[in-house]
Structure 1
Amino acid sequence: MSRLDKEEQEILDAFDTGDLKLSPDSEDRKLRHQQYAEAMFKKDARINIRLSSKDLRVLQKKALAEGIPYQTLVASILHKYVEGRLHEDR
């Protein structure tokens, strides 16, 4: 069985005791993520892209941290960009 860190254990304890509360924007967030999921399932085109192996490894690590396949992460990034919701920091 995996060991939990202090923060994870506090969250689990709060869940077990029923002390967790929904955030005020939880419905908006839920709707937004449902829309993301729907957009991800409407895959009707395929692309091939060449990346550096370093960039691919970083994408894979970030996807793993998010708990999603790296292809889904890449598709999400591209979707956000074309929707105007992803901007380069300068």
Structure 2
Amino acid sequence: MPKLDAYESDLLAAFEKGQLRSVATRNELAKARAAARATSIKDRRVNIRLTSGDLQDIQTKALEEGMPYQTLIASVLHKYATGRLVEVRTEEPAPPAYGGRRRKG
């Protein structure tokens, strides 16, 4: 477990003593439960091909996160589909291999 700062330690202590109470209304909780149920229903199956290396990397990351690798894949795809997957660039992108627009003929 990572080291907690003072605020996090105080928050954890209050939680463990039962001093924290939810401020959500019954209506808000009902909406949140309904949304969670609706997004967790998986009604379609897909098959994809991955390289052995990519699958191994995904399985390693899933193990680090403490979840099945299929769940991790579904989560990443869901975030992409809903526009919540953000690309983080660490270096300048390479120019297109074909030099931009293709010529006809």
TM-score over 0.5 (shorter chain)? yes
More RCO (CA 8 Å, sep 6+): 1
How large is the Cα RMSD of the aligned pairs?
3.3
Aligned to 2:13: 19
Which amino acid in the other structure matches residue 87 of structure 1?
A: V
For these two proteins, the number of residue pairs brought into alignment is: 69
Aligned to 1:11: none
Aligned to 2:74: 75
Which amino acid in the other structure matches residue 63 of structure 1?
A: A
Which amino acid in the other structure matches residue 13 of structure 2?
A: D
TM-score by length of 2: 0.51
Flag as ranges the 4+ runs of structure 1 deviating above 6 A.
none
Flag the 1:75–1:6 CA change in 2: closer, same or farther, 3 A.
Answer: closer
Aligned to 1:60: 59
After superposition, the C-alpha distances for 1:58-86 in whole angstroms (9 at most, x for unaligned) are: 10011011110000000000000111000
Q: Distance in 2 between matches of 1:62 and 1:71?
A: 11
Cα drift, residue 38 of structure 1: 5.4
Flag the 1:51–1:36 CA change in 2: closer, same or farther, 3 A.
Answer: farther
Q: Distance in 2 between matches of 1:37 and 1:72?
A: 15
TM-score by length of 1: 0.58
User: Sequence identity, in percent?
Assistant: 50
User: For structure 1, which runs of at least 5 residues remain unmatched after alignment?
Assistant: 8-13, 22-26
User: For structure 2, which runs of at least 5 residues remain unmatched after alignment?
Assistant: 4-8, 16-23, 90-105
